[in-house]
Chain A
Amino acid sequence: MNWKPDIKGLIEPFTALKYLFKRPATITYPDVKRETPAGYRGFHVNDQVKCIGCGICEDICMNVAIDMVTPEEIKNPKNTSGLIPRVDYGRCCWCSLCTDVCPTKSLKLTPEYVLVTEDPNDFLYTVPEPKGDIQ
C-alpha cells in the first residue's frame, strides 16, 4: 500500500499553540467593560418636558410593548392627553420604530442595556428622563 502521510498538514495546525503566549482576545468582564457605540439600540429614555402624549409610539409598536399611562406629574403643559409611554421589556425588540416616529424626538434609545432584577414587574419599564445630554 502506498502510504504517504501529510506531514505538513499534521504539523502546521500546531502553530496555533503560539497563541498560548499572546494576550487573550477576550476582556475580563465585569472588571473591564466594553465601550458601547453611541448609536446602540438599548433602553429607552423619554424627555417628558418635550413629550406631547400623542401616542404615535404606542400606535406603531407592533409588539404592543408600549402602554400610555398617567404619570405622577405632567411636565409638559402641551401634553394633550396627559399620558406618557411605558415600555414592557418582556415584549420590546428594540427595533427603534417608536423613536423614529416620535414627532418631538423626546423618546430615544440609549446605549445602556443591562437590566438585572428579581422582580418580573421591573420589566414594565417606566421610561426615565434622559441623563446628561444624549443626542
Chain B
Amino acid sequence: MYKSNQLVKIFHGPQHPGITGNMSVELDLDAETIVNATTHVGYLHRGFEKLVERRTIPQAFTIVCRICVPAPAPNEANFARGIENLAGIEIPEKASWIRTMVLEMQRITAQFLWMAGQGGSLGLYVNPQWAVADRDFMLDLFEELTGGRVYHMYIYPGGVRRDLPDGFLDKLSALLDYYETRLPEYDRVFFNNAVFKKRAIGAGIVDPSTALKYGITGPVLRAAGYQKDVRKYAPYEKYSELEFDIPTATESDVYARAMVRREELVQSFRILRQIIQRMPKTGDYQVKLKNHHQFKIPTGETWVRTESARGEFAYYMASDGSEYLRRMQVKGPSMVHAMSLLETVLKGAQLADVAMIMNSLGTCPPEIER
C-alpha cells in the first residue's frame, strides 16, 4: 500500500451517496489510507425532544415519525408503547397484530433502501434502481393502509388509526410472492456480484470482542456472531408468538452484514406470511383516548425498545402528571454506529470505501440529532 507519510485532511460529506440525511466525516488521509476519522453532525438538529415537551400526547405523536427517515414506524411504535406503559392502556388484540405487521413491512422497506444505498455507494447502479422501485410497491400498500407513503402517522397510543382496508392482506401476500421471485435476481446482480464481493469482503471489520459492550445493535452485531435481537430477548407486540430465526455471520465485514440483511429480508417475508394467516378478522383496532387537554398521564418513567432494520431503537419517557410529557429521549442505533463505531472502523480503511462502510453500519444522521 502506498504511503506518503504526509497527512491530507478532507471532508467527506455532508451530502453522501447512500445514506439518508447529512453528516460529514473529517478524514486525515495518508495517500488513500485513512489515519483518523471524526464525525461531525449538526446539519439536522430539529429539536424534537424539546418540541414534544410543549405538545399534548396526540399532538406530539405526529412528529415522532420524523425522527428517522428510512423507518418511521419503530418510532411511532415506541412512542405509542411508551405512552401506553405510562398511562396503563391495554390495546386490543387486532391493533397489536396490525402493529406487528406494519413494523415488519417497515423493516422490508428499510432493507430495500439500505440495498439501494449499498449499491449506490459502490457504483452498482442497477441495484438502487431496482431496490427503490421494489420498495415503492410496499409504499403503495402503506399508502392504502395509512394514507401516507413515508410518514404514516398510523401507530397511535391506544392502537392504530384505521382498520385494514378490504383485501389488504391478499395484496400483501401477492407482493410477498413477487418479492420472493425478485430475490434470486438481486442475488445475481448484487449479492453474488464479483465486484461487490471483491470490495466488501474484509472491508469495514467491526471487532466482535467489543461489540456487545459498545452498544452495537442490529445487523452489525449479528454479523459479528451474536444472535441478539430485541424481538427475541425483549419481545413486544406479537413477536413472542411468531416463528422466525435470527441470522448471524462471523466475519463481521461489509459482506457478512449484507448477507445477514438479505437473510433478514427472507425472515421478514416469513413473519409477514404468519401474520397474514393469524390476523384476526374482527375486533377493535383502537381504544378511544380522551380529549387531548384531559388526557393526563400519571408521573412515571419508562424505557421501550424496538428492533428497527438498523438496530435497536429505544425511547426513554418521563411524565409528570400533566397532559405533556416531561421528557422523551430517543436513542437510535446511529448514535453509536455513526459516532464512536464509525470513527474506529474507518481507521485504516481506504478512502473509496468510506461510503460503503457508512452505509453498511446503518448510519442515519436524522436520528443522531433528532
Q: Which residues of B sit under 8 angstroms from A16, Cβ to Cβ?
A: 126, 185, 188-189
User: Of B146, B147, B197, B292, which is in contact with the most chain A CB atoms at under 10 Å from its CB?
Assistant: B147
Residues of B within 8 A of A62 (CB): 55-56, 59-60, 62-63
**1/0 per position for A38-59, CB-CB distance to B under 8 A?**
0111000000000000000000
Chain B residue contacts of A40, Cβ below 8 A: 143, 147-148
Which residues from 1 to 55 on chain A have a C-beta closer than 8 Å to any C-beta of chain B?
5-6, 8-10, 12-13, 15-16, 25-26, 36-37, 39-41
What is the bound-complex CA distance between A10 and B194, given in angstroms? 5
Chain B at the A interface: SS class: helix
A109: chain B residues within 8 A (beta carbon):
147
> With A and B bound together, what is the CA distance between A25 and B60 in angstroms?
38
Given contacts A39-B165, A60-B58, contact A96 B153 (CB under 8 A): yes
Q: Are the CB atoms of A12 and B147 closer together than 8 Å?
A: no
Q: Are A9 and B192 in contact (CB under 8 A)?
A: yes
In the complex, whether B193 has a CB less than 8 A from a CB of chain A is yes
User: Known interface pairs A6-B197, A37-B144, A39-B165. Does A60 touch B292 (Cβ–Cβ under 8 Å)?
Assistant: yes
CA distance A24 to B193 in the complex (A): 24
- Given A12-B188, A37-B144, A41-B147, the answer on whether A6 and B59 have CB atoms closer than 8 Å is no
Closest to A95 in B: B62
* B55 smallest CB distance to A (angstroms): 5
Interface presence of A69 (CB below 8 A): no
- B151 closest partner in A (C-beta): A93
Q: What's the nearest-Cβ distance from chain B to residue A2, in Å?
A: 15
CB distance from B254 to the nearest CB of A (A): 16
Q: Find the residue from A37, A93, A95 having the highest chain B CB count within 10 A.
A: A95
Q: Which of B60, B62, B153 has the most CB of A within 10 A?
A: B62
Which of chain B's residues has its CB closest to A93's CB?
Answer: B62
Cβ of A10: which chain B residues have Cβ within 8 Å of it?
194
A-B pair number, CB within 8 angstroms:
70
Which residues between 185 and 229 of chain B lie within 8 Å of chain A, taking CB atoms? 185, 188-190, 192-195, 197-198
Asked whether any CB of chain A lies closer than 8 Å to the CB of B331, the reply is no
Residues of A within 8 A of B124 (CB): 13
Contacts of B296 in A (CB 8 A): none
The listed residue (B59, B145, B189) touching A13 by CB distance below 8 A is B189
Question: With the chains together, A97 CA to B145 CA distance in Å?
Answer: 16
What residues on B are CB-neighbors of A13 within 8 Å? 124, 126, 188-190, 193-195
Interchain CA distance A97-B62 in the complex, whole Å: 9
Q: Evaluate contact between B162 and A39: CB separation under 8 angstroms.
A: yes
- B161 — which chain A residues lie within 8 A by C-beta? 100
- Cβ of B89 < 8 Å from any Cβ of A? no
B10 at the A interface (CB under 8 A): no
Q: Indicate which residue in B144, B153, B193 contacts A12 across the interface (CB closer than 8 Å).
A: B193
Find out whether the CB atom of A25 lies under 8 angstroms from the CB atom of B133: yes
B59 pairs with A97, CB closer than 8 A: yes
Nearest residue, chain B, Cβ from A42: B147
> In the complex the two chains form, is B133's CB within 8 Å of A8's CB?
no
B58 touches A97 (CB 8 A): yes
Please state if B144 and A39 are interface contacts (CB–CB under 8 Å). yes
Bound together, the chains give a CA A9 to CA B189 distance in angstroms of 8
Residues of chain A within 8 A of B133, CB atoms compared? 25-26
Q: Which residues of B contact A39 (CB under 8 A)?
A: 144-147, 162, 165
Does B193 contact A9, Cβ atoms closer than 8 Å?
yes
CB distance from A60 to the nearest CB of B (A): 6
In contact, B197 and A15 (Cβ under 8 angstroms): no
**A42-B198 Cα distance, complex, nearest whole Å:** 47
* Residue on B nearest A18 in the bound complex, by CB: B185
Q: How far is the CA of A13 from the CA of B185 in the complex (A)?
A: 9
Q: Cβ of A12 and Cβ of B162 under 8 Å apart?
A: no
Which B residues are CB-close (under 8 A) to A25? 133
Tell me which residues across on chain B come within 8 A of A96, comparing CB atoms.
147, 153
Instruction: Give the complex CA separation of A97 and B153 in angstroms.
Output: 10
Q: Are A9 and B147 in contact (CB under 8 A)?
A: no
Rounded to whole angstroms, the CA-CA distance of A12 and B193 in the bound complex is: 7
Given contact pairs A9-B195, A13-B126, A60-B58, enumerate 15 new A-B contacts (beta carbons under 8 Å). Answer: A8-B194, A9-B193, A9-B197, A10-B194, A15-B189, A16-B185, A16-B188, A39-B146, A39-B165, A40-B143, A41-B147, A62-B55, A62-B62, A94-B148, A96-B147
- State the 10 A-B residue pairs at the shortest beta-carbon distance, nearest first: A9-B194, A62-B59, A41-B147, A95-B62, A6-B194, A12-B188, A37-B144, A10-B194, A39-B147, A16-B126
**10 A-B pairs with C-beta separation under 8 A:** A6-B197, A12-B188, A15-B185, A26-B133, A37-B147, A39-B162, A60-B59, A62-B56, A62-B59, A97-B62
